Structure 1
Amino acid sequence: MSSLIYLQGYPESLLSQVRSLIEQQRLAEVLQKRYPDSHNITSDKALYEYALDLKNSYLRNAAPLNKVAYDSKIKVMKHALGLHTAVSRVQGGKLKAKAEIRVATIFKSAPEAFLRMIVVHELAHIKEKDHSKAFYQLCCHMEPNYHQYEFDTRLWLTEQALRGNAA
């Protein structure tokens, strides 16, 4: 089923449950019940402060964040939910590193748990570059419900796509 593009790699038993919810037109209802509140982190400044608070709580010794912003150019299907970039430049005799996080604009209207999962994921890339076991352990350290939020984010994106809203 082409509407399950965000759920590739999950077991067929789980996908059949999702298909059933879609057929019954209950996917949005289930997600709304589980995540009734939206967030008010809609500006780049608020997103930067949100990410910085998480970083300062869990990654105090990691490289500083230079920029955190929503990015309308991120297409969820082609790229990811967010992007982390590290740019190193030589200035004078010193090497300057800048870390940036960009989050797809569609998450301005997502539940806060989904935004948190994306920010945690991108922050984890500051310390762990690859999607390794250590990377996911760090994600779960910062957000114990990380894996559930990731799955539910994929459900939400599936529901958005069914409504024609996904980026």
Structure 2
Amino acid sequence: MQELIYLRSYPDSIQHQVAQLLLQGKLGSTLQKRYPEQQHAIQTDKALYELTLNLKQQFMKSSDPISKVQFDPKIHVINNALGTHTQVSRVQGCKLKSKSEIRVASLLKQLPLPILQMVVVHELAHLREKDHNKAFYQLCQYMEPQYHQLELDLRLFLTWRDSAEGV
């Protein structure tokens, strides 16, 4: 069985199912059935910023403001990141100014909208919870009830993309 690097933390039963779909050349068609509309309209930094602010306004009104949201072509999935969040604090006069930025991998322009939204939700959750702990994942699920399924589906898309079937 080929190593499924994006699925390492998943049970052997899931890895086996995915390996079988890959061997049969069916992983792509399975994903296509689940997400018939693969292309979405969020293709610019402005559109991504609006999506992020809408989600923040809906679920996290009291969180720190976000100063920048953008697609970043330098983010590479092998480094286990599809998005990053940064908090920059500066002293300006006698005040401490804080800015939050979110960057997501440009690869997400090519994946279905629910998966892009899941990554944005993940990065927004980091505004309140810095670590990947129980409270962090509860917040992710509050904002996106299908969070865990979408995370698995993202890993399936990455596995398919890296396989001979997805090339």
Distance in structure 2 (CA, Å) of the matches to 1:68 and 1:132: 24
State the 1:129 CA deviation: 0.5
Distance in structure 1 (CA, Å) of the matches to 2:52 and 2:153: 21
Residues 65-114 of structure 1: per-residue CA shift (max 9 Å, x gap): 10000000101101401001111111111101110000001000100011
Distance in structure 2 (CA, Å) of the matches to 1:131 and 1:93: 33
Q: TM-score, normalised by structure 2?
A: 0.95
Distance in structure 2 (CA, Å) of the matches to 1:3 and 1:27: 15
Which amino acid is 2:134 matched to?
K
Residues 46-68 of structure 1: per-residue CA shift (max 9 Å, x gap): 00000000000000000001000
Residues 96-138 of structure 1: per-residue CA shift (max 9 Å, x gap): 1110000001000100011011000000000100001000000
Q: Are the counterparts in 2 of residues 3 and 161 from structure 1 also a CA contact under 8 Å?
A: no
State the 1:161 CA deviation: 1.2
Change (3 A) 1:99 1:2: farther
Aligned length: 166
State the 1:2 CA deviation: 4.9
Query: 1:151 is matched with which residue?
Result: 152
Which amino acid is 1:60 matched to?
K
Q: CA RMSD in A?
A: 1.5
Distance in structure 1 (CA, Å) of the matches to 2:49 and 2:131: 23
Q: Are the counterparts in 2 of residues 48 and 69 from structure 1 also a CA contact under 8 Å?
A: yes
Q: Which runs of 5+ in 2 are unaligned?
A: none
Structure 1 ranges of 4+ moved more than 3 A: 163-166
Q: Which runs of 5+ in 1 are unaligned?
A: none
Distance in structure 1 (CA, Å) of the matches to 2:164 and 2:88: 37
Query: 1:29 is matched with which residue?
Result: 29
Q: TM-score, normalised by structure 1?
A: 0.95
Distance in structure 2 (CA, Å) of the matches to 1:115 and 1:163: 24
Partner of 1:101, secondary structure, is strand
Which amino acid is 1:131 matched to?
H
Query: 1:39 is matched with which residue?
Result: 40
Q: Are the counterparts in 2 of residues 3 and 162 from structure 1 also a CA contact under 8 Å?
A: no
Q: 1:4 and 2:1 equivalent? A: no
Distance in structure 1 (CA, Å) of the matches to 2:30 and 2:5: 19
